[in-house]
Amino acid sequence: MRLSRSLIPTMKENPAEAQIASHRLMLRAGLVRQTASGIYAWLPAGWKVLQNIARIVAEEQEAVGAQAMLMPTIQSADLWKQSGRYDAYGPEMLRLADRHGRELLYGPTNEEMLTDLVRQSVKSYRDLPQILFHIQWKFRDEMRPRFGVMRGREFLMKDAYSFDLDYEGAVVSYRKMMLAYMRTFQRLGVKAIPMVADTGPIGGDLSHEFIILAPTGESQVFYDAAYDDMDFTKEAVDHNAPADLERFFNEVTHHYAATDEKHDEPVWAKVANQREGRGIEVGHIFYFGTKYAEPMGLTVAGRDGTSVIPHMGSYGVGVSRLVGALIEAHHDEAGIIWPDSVAPFKAVILNLKVGDAGCDALCEAAYAAFKGEALYDDRDDRAGAKFADADLMGHPWQIVVGPRGAKAGMVELKRRATGEKLELSLADALAKIG
Ligand code: 5CA
Are the beta carbons of 94 and 124 closer than 8 angstroms? no
Average pLDDT over residues 31-52: 98
Please work out, in degrees rounded to the nearest 5, the angle formed at the alpha carbon of residue 18 by the alpha carbons of 50 and 51.
Answer: 0
State in Å: Cα 152 to ligand 1 middle. Answer: 10
State in Å: Cα 281 to ligand 1 middle. Answer: 9
Any alpha helices (H) in 85-166, and if so which ranges? 85-88, 111-121
Q: What is the pLDDT of residue 317?
A: 98
What DSSP letter does each residue of 336-352 carry, written as one string? E---TTT-SSSEEEEES
Range with the poorest average pLDDT among 169-178, 189-198, 315-324, 367-376 = 189-198
- pTM (predicted TM-score): 0.96
State in Å: Cα 74 to ligand 1 middle. Answer: 17
State in Å: Cα 318 to ligand 1 middle. Answer: 5
Share of the chain above pLDDT 90, in %: 90
State in Å: Cα 151 to ligand 1 middle. Answer: 9
Average pLDDT, the chain: 95
Contacts of 239 (CB under 8 A, 6+ apart): none
Cβ atoms < 10 Å from Cβ of 370: 17
Is cis: bond before 129, omega within 30 of 0? yes
Q: What is the pLDDT of residue 71?
A: 98
Average pLDDT over residues 30-50: 98
Domain residue ranges of the chain, discontinuous segments joined by +: 3-336, 347-433
Q: Which of 140, 157, 159 to mutate to test the pocket of ligand 1 (most atoms within 8 A of CB)?
A: 157
Q: What is the pLDDT of residue 216?
A: 81
Residue 150 and residue 190: Cα distance in Å, rounded? 16
The CA-atom distances, in angstroms, between 243 and each of 179, 250, 340, 353 are 13, 11, 34, 61
Average pLDDT over residues 52-81: 97
Ligand 1, atom 17: closest residue by C-alpha: 318
Ligand 1, atom 14: closest residue by C-alpha: 318
DSSP state of 124: B
Are the beta carbons of 405 and 412 closer than 8 angstroms? yes
Q: Which of 85, 184, 284, 320 to mutate to test the pocket of ligand 1 (most atoms within 8 A of CB)?
A: 284
Which one is predicted more confidently, 79 or 235?
79
Q: Which of 198, 321, 326 to mutate to test the pocket of ligand 1 (most atoms within 8 A of CB)?
A: 321
Ligand 1, atom 23: closest residue by C-alpha: 151
Q: Which atom of ligand 1 approaches the CA of 160 most closely?
A: 4
Is residue 208 exposed (0-12), middle (13-18) or buried (19+ Cβ within 10 Å)? buried
Which one is predicted more confidently, 58 or 248?
58
Express each pLDDT in 189-245 by its tens digit: 998 999 998 766 665 668 999 999 988 888 999 999 999 888 776 666 666 789 989
Average pLDDT over residues 15-20: 93
Q: How many residues does the chain have?
A: 434
Ligand 1, atom 24: closest residue by C-alpha: 151
Q: How confident is the model at residue 69 (pLDDT cuts 50, 70, 90)?
A: very high
Q: Which atom of ligand 1 approaches the CA of 283 most closely?
A: 16
State in Å: Cα 202 to ligand 1 middle. Answer: 11
Express each pLDDT in 241-261 by its tens digit: 899 899 999 989 999 999 988
Which residues, judged by CB distance below 6 Å to any ligand atom, belong to the binding site of ligand 1? 109, 140, 142, 151-152, 155, 157, 159, 202, 281-284, 314-316, 318, 320-321
3-class SS shares of the chain: helix, strand, coil, % to 5 = 35, 30, 35
Ligand 1, atom 16: closest residue by C-alpha: 283
Helix (H, G, I), strand (E, B) or coil at 224: strand
Q: What is the pLDDT of residue 229?
A: 82
Any alpha helices (H) in 122-157, and if so which ranges? none
Residue 201 and residue 199: Cα distance in Å, rounded? 7
Please tell me if the domain spanning 3-336 has the same topology as the one spanning 347-433.
Answer: no
- Helix pair angle (167-187, 44-63), 10° resolution: 140
- Domain 347-433 superfamily per CATH: Anticodon-binding domain (3.40.50.800)
Please work out, in degrees rounded to the nearest 5, the angle formed at the alpha carbon of residue 151 by the alpha carbons of 147 and 156.
Answer: 125
State in Å: Cα 139 to ligand 1 middle. Answer: 10
State in Å: Cα 179 to ligand 1 middle. Answer: 19
- In CATH terms, 3-336 corresponds, of 2.60.120.260, 3.30.930.10, 3.40.30.20, 3.40.50.80, to 3.30.930.10
